[in-house]
Amino acid sequence: MAKVTTLSEFIINNQKDFPYETSDLSRLLSSIQIAAKIVNREVNRAGLTDNILGAVGSTNVQGEEQQKLDVYANDRFIEAMASQKVVCGIGSEENDHFLGAEHGLSKDGQYIVMMDPLDGSSNIDVNVSIGTIFSIYRRVTPIGSEVAMEDFLQPGNRQVAAGYVVYGSSTMLVFSTGNGVNGFTLEPSLGLFCLSHPNLKSPEGGKIYSINEGNFTQFSPALQNYIHLCKSDKNINGKAMSARYIGSLVADFHRNLLKGGIYIYPGTKSAPNGKLRLLYEANPLAFLIEQAGGSASNGNKRILDIHPTELHQRCPLFIGSKKLVDEAVKHIASSEKTEALG
């Protein structure tokens, strides 16, 4: 029987590949896996206790109703990372402002973490896969000082690591430190994340397109034309593609990473910048998909080259298999040019 490699062993064995100070980043990644196990335990108890499901009664900075598990997951990840004293600042989808030393984080820490602690949490009460997304940067302000907004408003190409956890039929942690993408599945009887998907590669193409077609009338004519292309035999596959949309970004992304496909959350008439957050969702997933050989764009520009101007900035997202993303961006640009010429 082949030896099983745990996530902790993998981190230690691959410290030489980490781009900066190895032990601090190792400790940070270890704290993330601990928090993921705690959140996974609560997710698996959903429906058994009254204090897990349902809304808190408040909204986050995006105006979205916070679920009890949103707040729970946010608190657990913050506590786990603060305990390691290597993180100086955290930006979370669930907090209006970034967190620093006043929340137990270390002024001497050299890492900034951006996170969506529980993506897709509105689906928890119907037993649909949800997840956690995280992104790690090195701070730009001097060590020992208070963190500042400039530490958080860095383009995605400065990420040193990123990953996600998907809580589904099995719980998986997928991450990259800039040397490929690896997936670890939680073995529940042991409580250990074990390497199950080494060196993940995104298929160049695929047969799946993922988009909320309920918003079709809100899409630009160019995007509507692209959706029609997906349904025809004139797309890059030579036959109609299949629509698959779960409604949890992590779950849709994870499926398409493994099987090939394109995920689209575009700007619409009512929300020109789309719904997804650049720093908490688009950047970390773009980092991962590029490490796996795929592509990510806002429709006009590479996601990782966007310079953020706001902590909770939103952006359209086209992400997945390289050939499909390239085809989508080119087709939409061509359609827009045709429309402009009348």
Q: How confident is the model at residue 125 (pLDDT cuts 50, 70, 90)?
A: confident
Say whether 275 counts as a known binding-site residue: yes
User: Distance (Å, rounded) from C-alpha 160 to C-alpha 54?
Assistant: 35
Among candidate residues 274, 262, 268, the one with its CA nearest the CA of residue 327: 262
Provide mean pLDDT across the span 300-308.
Answer: 97
Over residues 34-60, the pLDDT tens digits come to: 999 999 998 888 766 555 555 554 555
* Predicted pLDDT of residue 15: 83
**Cβ–Cβ < 8 Å for 121, 59:** no
Say whether 119 counts as a known binding-site residue: yes
Quote the percentage of the chain above a pLDDT of 90. Answer: 80
Say whether 212 counts as a known binding-site residue: yes
Residue 33: phi and psi, rounded to 5, are -70, -35
Strand 192-197 versus strand 208-210 pairing type? unpaired
* Predicted pLDDT of residue 2: 62
Say whether 116 counts as a known binding-site residue: yes
Task: Specify the range with the lowest mean pLDDT, choosing from 7-16, 108-117, 126-135, 250-259.
Answer: 7-16
For residue 12, CA distances in Å to 15, 27, 34, 88, 313 come to 5, 10, 16, 23, 35
Domain annotation for the chain: domains and CATH numbers: 7-197 (3.30.540.10), 208-341 (3.40.190.80)
Say whether 96 counts as a known binding-site residue: no
* CA geometry: angle 107, 110, 114, nearest 5 deg: 95
What average pLDDT does the structure give for the chain? Answer: 92
Say whether 93 counts as a known binding-site residue: yes
Say whether 24 counts as a known binding-site residue: no
Say whether 121 counts as a known binding-site residue: yes
The secondary structure of 149-181 as a DSSP string is HHHH---GGG-SEEEEEEESSSEEEEEESSS--
